[in-house]
Amino acid sequence: MMKTALITGANKGIGLATAQQLLDAGYFVYIGSRDIAKGEEAVAMLGHANTAVVQLDVTDTHSILAARELIGRSTTQLDVLINNAGISGGFPQAPATVPVQMIRDVFETNFFGVIQVTQAFMDLLQKSPQPRIVNVTSGLASLTLHSDPSWVYYSFKGAAYGPSKTALNAYTLSLAYELRETNFKVNAVDPGYTATDFNHHSGPGTVENAAALLVRFATLGADGPTGKYFSNDRNGETSPW
């Protein structure tokens, strides 16, 4: 039986590159896209029969449930969920003056959106013999590194984006613990500072390299780690929380 994967925010950038690599690995990939037209363009760009676009806005409960119903009609199980959709909220995000609504908006996508999608698809994931959840996080989520003046990104502080990913890491850790006696592998993975639309293509990393790290944890074997935080900025090894 062909394995299946759902990637949120997969119509461009790291999500699209991850879809390509999972297709190459023999998976059927659902391209989650807030804008259905952009998702269809991504599917056309991939040019592969084993892919389909799913309208999915992680901040919209109705959209999430509709996506779950659609995917549930075409497959009996979901093997991989990659929670990739995310927003920065824009910078600067000075803690003393940042609009609280910006923080709420960023958390709605980067934190609450992940939880809603994960819970909606949990039943399909539970039917997989080796379910994998990859929560795409950031190096800016690490409180340990943010406390180290020698860290290269020490000055990149903000009240919305980084904290939303710190919260996501905490959720990842808790979910992995809850599922520890099952075949689930749940990890937080930081693709590193990658050149995408997200950062106006200012990052030094490539989407192909970023995607390779996500795919590595999406395809873990039975002896793979769970409840960990990995980063491309640390050569794909564990990052301090």
Q: Over the stretch 89-128, which tens digit does the pLDDT of each residue have?
A: 999 999 999 999 999 999 999 999 999 999 999 999 999 9
Q: Which of 3, 12, 165, 228 is catalytic?
A: 165
Average pLDDT, the chain: 96
Check pLDDT > 90 for residue 51.
yes
φ, ψ dihedrals at 32, nearest 5°: -80, 125
With a pLDDT cut of 90, the percent of the chain lying above it is 94
Is 185 a known active-site residue?
Answer: no
Q: Name the pTM for this structure.
A: 0.96
| Dihedral, CA of residue 120, residue 123, residue 124 and residue 126, to nearest 10 | 130
> How far is it, in rounded angstroms, from Cα 192 to Cα 195?
9
How is residue 11 written in tokens? Answer: 């119509």
> How far is it, in rounded angstroms, from Cα 81 to Cα 11?
15
Q: Of 122-131, 147-156, 201-210, where does mean pLDDT reach its minimum?
A: 201-210
Look at the alpha carbons of 153, 154, 160, 164 in this order and tell me if their dihedral is positive or negative: positive
pLDDT bucket at 5, cuts 50 / 70 / 90? very high
Q: Of 106-115, 180-189, 194-203, where does mean pLDDT reach its minimum?
A: 194-203
Q: Which of 30, 161, 171, 193 is catalytic?
A: 161
Average pLDDT over every residue of 208-225:
97
pLDDT for residue 205? 78
Is 229 a known active-site residue?
Answer: no
Check pLDDT > 70 for residue 195.
no
Task: Give the chain as a DSSP string.
Answer: ---EEEETT-SSHHHHHHHHHHHHTT-EEEEEESSHHHHHHHHHHHT-SSEEEEE--TT-HHHHHHHHHHHHHH-S---EEEE-------S---TTTS-HHHHHHHHIIIIIHHHHHHHHHHHHHHTSSS-EEEEE--GGG-HHHHT-TTSTTTT---SSHHHHHHHHHHHHHHHHHHTTTSS-EEEEEE--SB-SGGGTT--SB-HHHHHHHHHHHHT--TT---S-EEEGGGTTEE---
How far lies 164's CA from each of 156, 171, 225, in Å?
14, 11, 23
